[in-house]
Amino acid sequence: MYLIAGLGNPGKEYEDTRHNLGFEVIGRLAIEHGTVLKNDRKFRAKAAKTDLGSAKAVLLSPQTFMNLSGQAVKAAADYYKIPAEKVVLVYDDIDLEEGRVRIKIGGGSAGHKGVESVIEHLNARDFIRVRIGAGRPVLKEASDHVLSRLEEDKRDVFSSAINTAALAVVEIVANGPEAAMNQFNGV
């Protein structure tokens, strides 16, 4: 079983922002695989169990704020006895060009507070990451950039990236992270 956790911030004011790209991927996966995310108090998250191809998975959108995402990820991983190597974290990355999707195993947080929280709470770095390029801000602070609403002319780019990231997650679950890296990292 895999735990697929998409990072974001709860609340209407954060919808349609770069920082909620992880939530968008989880939502897309839930719809495509015929399940509904429901509030789960024990995880402080929206969650659903589903089949992604031939494997079982838990979809998770932490309802803590970004900086506390690790609490929900840890609670779900512990409850379902999912090791860090089977945790897939989906999140925005300002060090990637807008809309680009990259998969990697392990590493640091690169200053992403949600990833820092997951590393801290799992006490591990070897989870799988699906990073969606949010682009580096030109005239704004990084936090203002990721928390501002998507510009109308960027919606298609990010919609495509959300779709690609969802396909990458399915490939990770079906054939492993290396196969997904080979398929998606060169694009």
Instruction: Tell me if residue 145 is catalytic.
Output: no
In the numeric block, the tokens 């992604």 are attached to: 52
Residue of 19, 112, 121, 145 marked catalytic:
19
The residues annotated as belonging to the active site are 19
